[in-house]
Structure 1
Amino acid sequence: MDYQHIGITVLWTFLYGYIIVGAVDFGAGFFMLYAKIIKKDHIINELVSRYLNPVWEVTNVFLVFFFVGIVGFFPDTAYYFGTTLLIPASIALILLTIRGAFYAFETYGKDTKFQWVFLYGMTGLLIPASFSTVLTISEGGFIEKTKNGVSLDYFELLMSPYAWAVVFLSIVSVLYISSAFLTYYAHKADDKPAYELLRKWFMIWAGPMIVICQFVFLSLRQHNAEHFNTAVTHYWWLFGLSIVFFLIGFVLIWQRRNHGIAFIAIMIQFALAFFGYGISKMPYILYPYIDLNHAVVNDSMALALVIVFIAGLLLLVPSLVLLLRLFIFDADYVSGKRR
Structure 2
Amino acid sequence: MMADTIAWVLIVVIAAYACGGGTDYGAGFWDLLAGGADRGKRPRWLIDRAMAPVWEVNNVWLIFVLILMWTGFPTMFQAVFTALWLPLLLAAVGTVLRGAGFALRKPSRRIARRRIFGAVFAIASLLTPYFLGSVLGGVASGRVAVGTPASAHVWSNPTSILAGLLAIAATAFLGAVFLSTDARRFGAEDLVDYFRLRAVLAFGAVVVLAVIALPVTHHDARYVWHGLTRGLGLLFVVLAAFFGVATVLLLMVRAHRWTRYTSVATVALAVVAWGFAQRPYLLPTTLTVAQGAGAPHALRWLGLVALIAVVLVGPALALVYRLDTKGRLQELTDTDTHAAGLPGDNL
TM-score, normalising length: structure 2? 0.88
Greater Cα shift, 48-57 or 36-45: 36-45
Structure-to-structure mapping, 1:140-155, within 5 angstroms = 140-143=141-144, 149-155=147-153
State the partner residue of 2:51: 52
Q: CA deviation at 1:172?
A: 0.6
2:254 is the counterpart of 1:253: no
- Which residue of the partner structure matches residue 290 of structure 1? 287
CA distance in 2, matches of 1:140, 1:196: 39
The correspondence for 2:239, drawn from 238, 241, 247, is 241
Q: Which residue of 2 aligns with 1:13?
A: 12
Aligned residues, how many? 330
DSSP-derived class of the 1:293 partner: helix
Q: How far apart, in 2, do the equivalents of 1:43 and 1:230 lie?
A: 44
Specify every segment of 5 or more residues in structure 2 that has no aligned partner in the other structure, as ranges. 337-347
Q: How does 1:11-90 map to 2 (within 5 A)?
A: 11-37=10-36, 39-90=38-89
Deviations 1:84-119 (A, max 9, x none): 122112212221221232133224322352222112
The separation in 2 between residues aligned to 1:42 and 1:230, in whole angstroms, is: 45
Shift, 1:287, TM fit: 2.0
Note closer, same or farther for the CA distance 1:285–1:116 as it changes in structure 2 (3 Å cut). Answer: same
Task: Answer yes or no: is 1:173 the counterpart of 2:170.
Answer: yes
Alpha-carbon deviation of 1:192? 0.4
1:179-190, aligned counterparts within 5 Å? Answer: 179-190=176-187
CA shift in 2, pair 1:44/1:314, >3 Å: farther
Residues 144 and 53 of structure 1, relative CA distance in 2, 3 Å threshold: closer
1:14 Cα shift?
A: 1.2
Moved more, 123-132 or 47-56: 47-56
1:277 maps to 274
1:122 aligned partner: 123
Q: SS at 1:285's partner residue?
A: strand
Equivalent position of 1:163 in the other structure: 160
Consecutive aligned runs of 4 or more in structure 1 exceeding 6 Å deviation: none
Q: The residue matched to 2:109 in structure 1 has which SS?
A: coil
Cα distance, 1:143 vs structure 2: 4.1
Equivalent residue number for residue 227 of structure 1: 224
Match of 2:133 in 1: 132
Residue type of the partner of 2:215?
Answer: L
CA distance in 2, matches of 1:47, 1:60: 21
CA distance in 1, matches of 2:325, 2:212: 35
Is contact 2:91-2:132 (8 Å) kept?
A: yes
How far the C-alpha of 1:299 sits from its partner, in A, is 2.3
Deviates more, 1:166-175 or 1:294-303: 294-303
Compute the displacement of 1:180 (Å).
Answer: 0.8
